[in-house]
Amino acid sequence: MLRFLARRIGAAALLCVGITLVSFILTQLVPGDPAAANLGQRAIADPAAVDAFRSKYGLDKPLPVQYLTYLGNVLRGNLGESQQSHRAVAQDLAEYVPATIELALFAIVLSLLVGVAFGVLAAITRDRWPDQVLRVVSLGGVSMPTFWVALVAFYLLFFKFGLLPGGGRLDPGMNAPPHVTGFYTVDAALAGQWDVCSSAALHLVLPSLVLAVYTVGMLMRFTRASMLEILGNDYVRAARAKGLPERVVIVRHVLRPALVAIITVAGVAFGSLLSGAVLVENIFSWPGLGQYAYRSAVNLDLPAIMGVSVVVAAVYIVMNLLVDLLYGVIDPRIRLT
């Protein structure tokens, strides 16, 4: 188990280093000169100002040196300074990341509950009408452009009928709870501010519903497929033959082994939630990574782009690492490898 752990963590760490390399190479592809993009018209004509800018950001050194400097900084938690906000990227991100993670966690729990339940239902009613209906539902879910669902949901549920709050994390005029985790629902509950907590939870509903549309479809399809695969096993027939109630057969003999596969996909699903957040946060004015990423990309704010992709990929890798470790809990055979 320890060796398994060490190998997985080592692989994840290597991937993280690889990610910094990818984002570093990407920024080297940028055709625009960052000096030109960030200095005004007047300053760009002044060679001294350009040189000063270049040496301030280390742009005058050879590329491998620039990369190593960058990597060293990242390891020390220094992601550079955003050329737009003139603040440390790490500081910007610390503000935005919790908002997105809170949203994504809310959405993944929702998608797992709904997706697995519907997937099981589809598998046990295979080829009958509930399965057929659910198949269309799940294919519909993975076919909808998330940003469009966001727009339609925003229009109907907020603008037209006012059922749910529209944008932001809290009602206007409400102050953020004291910072502990950065998750407003948790922080407010810790501080005992129940009105803030319920407002934060209500604001989560609409964006996380929208985000879950895709992942529910994905998890539903996958749950159905892995349930069906396992249903074909002889031990399932044996369990039925010895007269176990169908409920027990499905939950203990089929769903439990199927969960191993489902958990893998949940890791991927979390990644698609992070992607979805980029598209959805703009519409719900959700002050998270998505909005920040978009603003930095448009402004070619190199350190910010690097920071965002590194952090998102790192979160994604950690999520998948957790998933790998969960295997060991669910499927004892894996511990041996």
Residues that bind other proteins (CB under 8 A): 15, 18-19, 21-23, 26-27, 29-32, 135-136, 139-140, 142-148, 151-152, 154-155, 159, 221, 225, 228-229, 231-232, 271-272, 274-275, 278-279, 282-283, 293-294, 297-298, 300, 305, 308-309, 312-313, 316-317
Of 206 and 300, the one with the shorter C-beta distance to other proteins is: 300
Of 111 and 272, the one with the shorter C-beta distance to other proteins is: 272
Instruction: Report in angstroms how near the CB of residue 138 gets to other proteins at its nearest.
Output: 9
What's the rounded Cα separation, in Å, for the pair 311 and 206?
25
Helix ranges (DSSP H) in the chain: 2-29, 34-38, 41-44, 47-56, 63-75, 89-124, 129-143, 146-153, 184-191, 194-231, 234-241, 246-248, 256-280, 289-298, 302-330
Instruction: Report in angstroms how near the CB of residue 276 gets to other proteins at its nearest.
Output: 8
Instruction: Report in angstroms how near the CB of residue 228 gets to other proteins at its nearest.
Output: 4
What's the rounded Cα separation, in Å, for the pair 137 and 244?
32
In sequence order, the 6+-apart residues with CB closer than 8 A to the CB of 89 are 79, 80, 81, 82, 303, 304, 306, 307
Instruction: Report in angstroms how near the CB of residue 169 gets to other proteins at its nearest.
Output: 19
Of 200 and 283, the one with the shorter C-beta distance to other proteins is: 283
DSSP state of 280: H
Instruction: Report in angstroms how near the CB of residue 29 gets to other proteins at its nearest.
Output: 5
Buried b (16+ CB within 10 A) or exposed e, 288-301: bbbbbbebbeebbb
Enter the tokens of residue 268.
């991927």
Give the three-class secondary structure for 24. helix
Of 241 and 298, the one with the shorter C-beta distance to other proteins is: 298
300 torsion bin: left (phi>0), alpha (psi -120 to 50), beta (else): left
- Are 42 and 55 spatial neighbours (Cβ–Cβ below 8 Å)? no
User: CB count, 10 Å around CB of 159?
Assistant: 10
Of 70 and 184, the one with the shorter C-beta distance to other proteins is: 70
Of 1 and 26, the one with the shorter C-beta distance to other proteins is: 26
Instruction: Report in angstroms how near the CB of residue 156 gets to other proteins at its nearest.
Output: 9
What's the rounded Cα separation, in Å, for the pair 51 and 55?
6
Instruction: Report in angstroms how near the CB of residue 51 gets to other proteins at its nearest.
Output: 24
Instruction: Report in angstroms how near the CB of residue 312 gets to other proteins at its nearest.
Output: 5
Of 103 and 188, the one with the shorter C-beta distance to other proteins is: 103
Enter the tokens of residue 26.
């990407």
Of 23 and 199, the one with the shorter C-beta distance to other proteins is: 23
Written as one string, the DSSP assignment of 71-83 is: HHHHHTT---B-T
